[in-house]
Amino acid sequence: MKPAPDLILQQLEPHAVRIATRKRQKIALTGEPDETLYLVRKGLFLARASMPHARHQIMSILYPGDCVRSAAMPPLDGSEITAATESGEVWRVRWSAAKTAMETDPNLARYVSDRVANQTARLALHNAIIAGLTGEERVAALITELVLRIGKQTPAGFVFDMPLSRTDIAEHLALNADTVSRIVSRMRAKGLIAVAGRNRLVCRSIEMLESECPLATTLERMHGTAVRQPLPAI
């Protein structure tokens, strides 16, 4: 029987700087001489990097339980983590402290390395989505992921607050913000999704949504279990 993730992470608490965040708050990753470990404890975050020519990209969406080593981010300028939900919490741990703790407790070492592996798999999947799907399929994939992760089942269907703006979606899916807006409108017209107030989305039928996206079964396997147990099996 493995210890619960929370218990494992407890050991890092004395070494961690807790950062309570509000929506859109940024945590810069560049300019740090030493490696750092970030633990997402609460809320959703976007790992963002700048490209030359003032272009930005959202490399991945981070969920509670994720941990990010700065070594797992490529040396791009302006790397940062942005809070995507109203309130969130991140722990920042100096790598030297994390390393010591990991050498003391193999469970912690395993937790961190498994989490990094999981992040790698998600990146690879995201690669496949960007590289192989059409715009509409990409948006369907993103909404499917969010439904699986943060959707709440109600009589009207799965409801969630959209944590990404149109621009964020565009930066994440390698699309244009205008195009994203068009696609979302089209999906609304098709009845795949509906809006319920500012930034709140309703998905009546997840099956309909998944039928729009060729990689739905993989998404289900990568994000679906997260609905039932907050942190994927480790």
Partner DNA sequence: CATCCAAATTGATCCAGGTCAACACTCTCG
Partner DNA sequence: CGAGAGTGTTGACCTGGATCAATTTGGATG
- Based on the shown chain and the rule CB under 7 A, indicate whether residue 167 belongs to the binding site for DNA: yes
- Based on the shown chain and the rule CB under 7 A, indicate whether residue 25 belongs to the binding site for DNA: no
Lay out the site mask for a second copy across 54-93 (x = CB under 8 A, - = otherwise): -x-x-xx--------x-xxxxxx-----------------
Which one of 4-12, 57-65, 161-169, 203-211 is the stretch in contact with DNA (CB under 7 A)? 161-169
196 CB-near residues (< 8 Å, 6+ apart) = 156, 159, 202
Using the minimum distance from each CB to a second copy, give the nearer residue, 56 or 204: 56
Q: Which positions from 83 through 122 interact with DNA, judged by CB under 7 A? A: none
- Number of CB atoms found within 10 A of residue 219's CB: 22
Q: Which positions from 201 through 230 interact with DNA, judged by CB under 7 A? A: none
- Based on the shown chain and the rule CB under 7 A, indicate whether residue 165 belongs to the binding site for DNA: yes
Which residue's structure tokens are 């109600």? 154
Q: Give helix 177-190 / helix 135-150 axis angle, nearest 10°.
A: 70
Residue 47 C-beta: closest distance to DNA, Å: 18
**Residue 69 exposed, middle or buried by CB count within 10 Å (0-12, 13-18, 19+):** middle
- Based on the shown chain and the rule CB under 7 A, indicate whether residue 127 belongs to the binding site for DNA: no
Contact (CB, 8 A) for 188 and 195:
yes
- Based on the shown chain and the rule CB under 8 A, indicate whether residue 177 belongs to the binding site for a second copy: no
184 CB-near residues (< 8 Å, 6+ apart) = 139, 166, 193
Using the minimum distance from each CB to a second copy, give the nearer residue, 15 or 99: 99
205 CB-near residues (< 8 Å, 6+ apart) = 157
Which of residues 176, 205, 211, 229 is near DNA by CB under 7 A? 176
The rounded radius of gyration (Å) of the Cα atoms in the chain is 18
Using the minimum distance from each CB to DNA, give the nearer residue, 198 or 228: 198
State the residues that interact with DNA by CB under 7 A: 134-136, 165-167, 174-179, 181-182, 184-185, 198
